[in-house]
Amino acid sequence: MGIHAEKMEPAGAARPGGTAEAAGVRPGGAVEAAEVRLGGAVEAARVRPASAAEVAEVRPGGAVAAARVRFVPAEIWCPPLARLRPIREELGLRSILNTIEKLLDFSQSPYLVYGVYHNTVFDRMAQLIQELDYRRALIVQGTQGSEDLFIDRPTRTYVVDQGTAKLHVIDPETYGLDTPLPETNTPWSAQQQLRVTEAVLRGEAHPAFVNQVLLNGAVRLELTGRAGSVEEGVYTCKALLDSGAAWDVYRRWQEAMRLTQTAAAERTQISRKA
Number of domains in the chain: 1
CB 256 within 8 A of CB 67: yes
Distance (Å, whole) CA 110 – CA 11? 9
Burial of 154 (0-12, 13-18, 19+ CB in 10 A): middle
| Kind of pairing between the strands at 155-161 and 164-170 | antiparallel
What is the structure's pLDDT at 19? 38
Range of the domain at 176: 5-273
Full-prediction pTM beyond 0.85? no
Confidence of residue 93 (pLDDT cuts 50, 70, 90): confident
Confidence of residue 172 (pLDDT cuts 50, 70, 90): very high
CATH number for the domain that contains residue 244: 3.40.1030.10
- Give 184-240 pLDDT, tens digit per residue: 888 888 898 899 999 999 999 999 999 999 999 999 999 999 999 999 999 999 999
- Give 25-47 pLDDT, tens digit per residue: 433 333 333 333 334 444 444 44
In the chain the first and final C-alpha atoms are separated, in Å, by: 33
pLDDT higher than threshold 90 for residue 256:
no
CB 68 within 8 A of CB 185: no
